[in-house]
Structures are given as structure tokens and as C-alpha cells.
Amino acid sequence: MTLKNPNFKAIIIFFFPISLILGSALVNLTLVVGSLFLIYQSYKEKIDFLKIIWVKIFFLLIIYLCLISFFAENFFSSFKSSISLIRFILFSLFIFFFIVEKNFEKLKNFITLLLFFVCIDVNIQFVFGYDIFGFPSEGYSDVNYDIFSHWKNSEVSVGRLSGPFKSELIPGAFISSLSVPLIFYKFKALKTKNLFGKLKTILLVCLFLESTIITGERLSTLLILSCIFTSMIICFNLKKTIFIVAILSSSLFLLPISENNFLKKRWVEAYNILLNVNESSYGRIYSSAYHVWKENKLFGVGLKNYRINCQKISDPNPASPHPFCSPTHAHNLYFELLSETGFIGLIIYLSFYLSLLIFLLKNLNHKKKNKVIYYFGFGSLFYLFFKLLPLPTGSIFSTWNASIFWFHVGISLSFLCKRSYFLNK
């Protein structure tokens, strides 16, 4: 495949992580521009990506979602969300065709620097209550307290952190999601580093982990912990794994995280949720999604229509301290699919997802396995497996969450598979 002047296309891919910080408008702009380039290049070079089964299934899903939109309470919202899913799959294929190995070092270094900046920013916000841009953490007011008092004083407590994301409480998701391929890559590259290089790598991973923990985002913490543990098993022997786990564990005591009332409350709450999921805040939302699904088991209520239809359902337990309906979405992959796309939509989506994973595993470029950059793509493949778990999550169809998912699809394809598979012979 001939790629003439790929530099501008590489800039689009490099800009994507920044757009996640700057807001949905720029994320959408990046997705659309990348998609248009992909369409043009497909026509010019006769790239036949429609011959791939998971691509076909995803386009089938889009058609299905558009059709059920005509029966949704809010047709416009459902139809717009359905048809706009095209930009995600096209952007992932754009990444696949235009990330070449010569751009890898720049991309890896750029993401590392961006993550480092976000980590430093959330740590400043954790300590002072405000980040370097003046954005406050959740629930923090401008009062003249000792800068460390909010760690123990619940009345002055810093809550969940936003970092450079203004009022969006998502820096932990940003750090954990984008660091996954880096952690796999850097752990695999450890044996080629000198002592200083190894120490720098371990400290960087410690920073990723610590910064994610202090955001109070529990799923993001679980993601990065799972990533670190899995990558060590794959890349190291047992002795090295134990050594690095010990260092990472000790890093959590670099700051008195355990003294922060908010963080303790978050993890105690997580423990209580596990003990009694049905009566928890998540259990209540899952119950509401289940009731919405029961109203239309086959086809669901249409994308972005869960909230509207949930308001029509009587609360089976009005005495509960937790709200029955979520103001946004069902907070779970499977309940979101069932309530908004029905049983048929769930089957189509899972067929797409599983066929994508099978395609990636069957078409691994084994010639790349001896290259360290192969593990960058392997980290993204791990992310795709992790997102299939039935855990609390953001909406799988929202711009921010979906764009990160499809970014990892593109990275997995780029560093694990052969581009020639997609080309007409």
C-alpha cells in the first residue's frame, strides 16, 4: 500500500488525545476529518474494508439502529446517534492505514508527555483543590484552609478530580485508557534499558497508577491495575513480577492517600455495593434499565431514549435513598444495549465485538512479535477484552467513550495485523 505524504494524516491522529481534553466538538471534528480521509483513500487505492466480517456486522448494527429510531420516543436524538456511529469505525480504520512504524516513536512520546501533564495537573488539584488552570475539584470551595486539611477534614474535602477537563470528572478514565498500550510497551522494553531507564519506566507507571487512584474513579483504577498485572505476567518472569509489584505497592504511600476521607469513602462504598448490588445506586439503575427493556424486549427504545422511557415507569421501591432512573444512561454495557437496542441489538453488537476480537487474534502478524512495538498494539487488545466485562461503565455510544474504544481498535489493527489483508489483489 502506497502512502504519499502521510504527515498531515499523522497530525490528525496525534491531535486526537488532545481533543479528548479540549471537548467533544474537537473530538467530533477529528473523527470526521479522519473519516473523510479514509473514504478518499479507500476510493483512490481500492481498499475493500467491507469484506471484513466485523466491519459488515457493525454497518448492519447501524442500519438496525436507524430503523428502530423511527419507533423511538425521541426520533431525532435516536436517529442522529445511530447514523453518527459511522464516524467511529471509519476513524479506527483511518488510524489503521495511516499509523506507520516511522511515526510510532513520535506518537508514543507525545502520548507519554500528555499523560505526564495530566497526571501532574490532577496531583496539584488533589493537594490544593485547584489545578493549574484554576479548575476546582468536585465540591471544593475557595476557603483559606491549610492545603493539607482537606485530606482529613470532611467539611473541606476535595472530592473527585477533574484536572484539565474543567467540570468533567474523567481524568482517571483518560489516564488509564491511554496508558494501557504504553504500559505493555514499556514493560516489554525494560530489558533493553539501563538501570536509569528501568527506574524511569517504573516511576512513570507508578505515576499513572497513583494519579488514577486519587481521581476517585474506581473502574479506571481497576483497569490500570489489571493492565499492570497482566502486562507483567506476559513480559516478566515471576521474580521480576514480584519485585515490580512491591515497588508499585510502595508507591501508593508516597502521598498519604489513605488519609483522604473522600477516597476512603469511595472504596468503602464500592465494598458495600459488592455486598448488596440490588439495593445500591448501580443496582437501582440496572433495575430501571431492566424495566425499560421489558417494555420492548426485541427492539428496545432506541439510542438516547432510556432516560425518557424510564421516567414513565413507576419506581418499585420509592423509599430507596438512591434514584431509580439515571439522568443519562444505564451505566452498564449490557443493560444499555438491552434497554436501548433490545435483544436483537444486543446479539448484533456482541456478534460484532466477538468477530472483531477473533479477527485480531486470527490475523496477528507473527513477524512483528519480536518487535517491542508489537506490545503497544497488544495493550490496546487487552483494553478491548477488558471493556467486554460486565462492569459499571460510561455510555458506549457517547462521543468521548466510543472514540477511545475505537482509537484502541485502530491501534490494535495497526500494530498487530497486516494492512495488505484489506487491499484488493
Note whether 356 and 311 are within 8 A (CB).
no
Whether 248 has a pLDDT exceeding 80, the answer reads no
Bridge partners (DSSP) of residue 392 are 332
pLDDT at 400 over 50: yes
- Domain positions in the chain are 10-46+85-272+363-422
Residue 332 β-bridge partners: 392
Q: What is the pLDDT of residues 363-375, one digit of tens each?
A: 886 666 667 888 8
Mean pLDDT of 59-76: 95
- The number of beta carbons lying within 10 Å of the beta carbon of residue 287 is 20
| Whole-Å CA distances, 286 to 170, 314, 333, 347 | 22, 15, 11, 19
Q: What is each CA distance from 87 to 83, 158, 207, 393, in whole angstroms? A: 9, 37, 33, 21
Q: 148-186: per-residue pLDDT in tens?
A: 444 455 454 567 899 999 889 899 999 999 999 999 999
Asked whether 180 and 227 are in contact (CB, 8 A), the reply is: yes
Residues contacting 405, CB < 8 A, separation 6+: 88, 384, 387, 396
pLDDT digits (tens, 9 = 90+) for 234-246: 877 666 666 666 6
Asked whether 69 and 77 are in contact (CB, 8 A), the reply is no
pTM tops 0.85 = yes
Q: What is the pLDDT of residues 268-321, one digit of tens each?
A: 888 888 888 888 889 899 999 999 999 899 999 999 999 999 999 988 888 888
Single out the residue of 392, 388, 391 nearest to residue 408, CA to CA: 388
Nearest to 20 by CA among 171, 187, 137: 171
pLDDT of residue 417: 82
